[in-house]
Structure 1
């Protein structure tokens, strides 16, 4: 599979021995990214190109995602376990602290990391992500929660039919036309989306469902009031996957946080408006003396 970030690849072991791989590019202040669920480092390649000119950019894959190994214990597709993976990456890279930038589920991961390691975080930049259950974007009733949890658990135990149909579909040209339901096809590059669909197929639906269930079970809402580092919250104006009410919960919960809403941005703002996002993040970091 093609990976679009250009940094040199390294590997380390997480706390349970799972091999985690990361790339490192550039010199200077360390900035570490955290991906969305069932995604790889692909969405960060514009970010890496920009910030590696004057910072050290580290992009890594969660356990069971991308270049990293699948864990022996399949019940560890959990946000706290990804936080342990991030700690292993930081230690192996020789970093005392870093700026953390999380996209989608990566927001939950960087907040969870802050919970246990606040002294190792110099700034937080949540992008298009919630602090807790992302499925709340589509409903919050107990009936709804029981229904989607049951569906996820069913396909974890019985993925064969879904994979027989879904994998050939994901590897075909069909998903791209339907992606316009969420992304702006006029601004969102097709290559990145094709690589995203390819990765889901390679990851396997059972493990994707495990990762989705792990997101649903997690909450870092209690962490928000404890955050004491510069924080820039980024949202997409037209993001239906993580709507404004979920993003605003982080903005209002973190004292002194800044909010930037990308005009017309969907859940794919990182690749729809990379220049706008990169320059806004750079301005935020320079204002806070972090670059």
Structure 2
């Protein structure tokens, strides 16, 4: 029987909204959305999992119905990872499989490296370990600071239009009905919170994790769309450095595979769970 619950998980000065579905004692899975995402983004996937898995979907700090700090520097990849552990403690979860998309995937990877005893397995969708080159990190930090400035000045509607016109989302624009619903759902965001998350969780501000990939000791699934050439290249390199790693590409999909093709994405992760973890 499905269970729907909504609650707040406090961590430091931030309140986390989350949704929870599925049996309370079975195979916990934490789903982490990307930048501008929401817990609701995972519903099509969770609908197929909730009969056998305990699914937890938070709105990450600065997003949706979660709280956000006044100062940008209070949102960091470290503070969000600590928030995940606080949420596990609140829910009585010893360890969980963590599924992360894009920005959420970077958080998932960081959490697995810094709190390895709390992560059972990783599913990393369209994500990477950050930027190795210091100059590239400075450039990306400046770019995200500039984006945050324009978000605050121009407002959410203009920012949304510009964001989803990026080449990274070219294939998503072919799914017009899904894109319309996606943009409509984003109006729940608070501009200041979103800008703080954009700056604080910038790829330029997080430490590079490339040199730590060999330390990952849990089964790991990398998922990307065949049309996402940037992360296809990144995932190919990652798959050679992570020990217990599988890499799957979803055909005719771009950056957001779980939105464009939720059935194929769910089938892929269920096969991974069955082969590497357990059979529900």
The match for 1:3 is none
How many residue pairs get matched?
Answer: 273
Partner of 1:18: 14
Give, in whole Å, the separation in 1 of the partners of 2:121 and 2:164.
37
8 Å Cα contact 1:163-1:204 kept in structure 2? no
Kept after mapping to 1: 8 A contact 2:253/2:260: yes
For the aligned residue pairs, the C-alpha RMSD in angstroms reads 2.8
Unaligned segments of structure 1, at least 5 residues = 1-5
Given the two structures, how large is their TM-score scaled by the length of structure 2? 0.85
Gaps of 5+ in 2: none
Instruction: Spell out the pairing of 1:79-98 with structure 2 (5 A cutoff).
Output: 79-98=77-96
Task: Kindly state the Cα deviation for residue 201 of structure 1 after the two structures are TM-superposed.
Answer: 6.3
Aligned pairs (5 A) from 1:1-291: 7-14=4-11, 16-27=12-23, 28-133=26-131, 142=135, 145-154=137-146, 159=149, 162-170=151-159, 178=165, 182-187=170-175, 189-195=178-184, 197-199=186-188, 202-203=191-192, 206-213=195-202, 216-240=205-229, 242-290=230-278, 291=280
2:8·2:18 contact (CA, 8 Å) conserved in 1? yes
1:183–1:266 Cα contact (<8 Å) kept: yes
Q: Identify the range of structure 1 (274-283 vs 243-252) with the bigger mean alpha-carbon deviation.
A: 243-252
* 64-73 or 27-36, larger mean C-alpha shift: 64-73
Q: Does the aligned pair in 2 maintain the 1:155–1:205 contact within 8 Å?
A: no
* Contact 1:33-1:102 within 8 A present in 2 as well: yes
Q: Give the TM-score, by structure 1 length.
A: 0.82
Instruction: Compute the displacement of 1:104 (Å).
Output: 0.4
Structure 1 residue 162: Cα displacement: 4.8
